Amino acid sequence: MSSVIDTRLPQTPKVYRRITSNAFWERVGEDLEDILRVMAINALAAKDTKLSNQLRKIDNGEYVGLDNPKLVEAFDNLRAVPEVAALLDQTKFDEIFANAIIDEVPEAQK
């Protein structure tokens, strides 16, 4: 019986930072998504398209980049909005932008 010692370095698990838009909205949750969509409609009425454009990009994109600085900043800024603050505390914010699990990753990114 021979004993072989494995000298290879341990494999570091791959970190995924892109998720499908459905996975992103699952993380956000229905209540917060509804508020964001109403806010986008109200902003459009005031001729402000920033939020609406960001939501459209999430909906139509192949994936959502969890490191996208504009998206992270937009969600961080939303925490100052009273209607959003109760639903988007630091814990929820961290959950939304946490590393992806393999089931959330688009097939092309695996």
Q: For each of the chain's 110 residues, which pLDDT tens digit applies?
A: 556 776 777 777 889 999 999 999 999 999 999 999 999 999 999 999 999 999 999 999 999 999 999 999 999 999 999 999 999 999 999 999 999 999 999 999 88
pTM summary value? 0.86
Q: Which residues contact 85 (CB under 8 A, 6 or more apart)?
A: 79
pLDDT at 12: 79
Q: How many CB atoms lie within 10 A of CB 31?
A: 10
pLDDT at 5: 75
pLDDT at 1: 56
Identify the bridge partners of residue 19 per DSSP, sorted by sequence position.
64
pLDDT at 93: 97
Query: For residue 91, what is the enclosing H or E element?
Result: helix 90-96
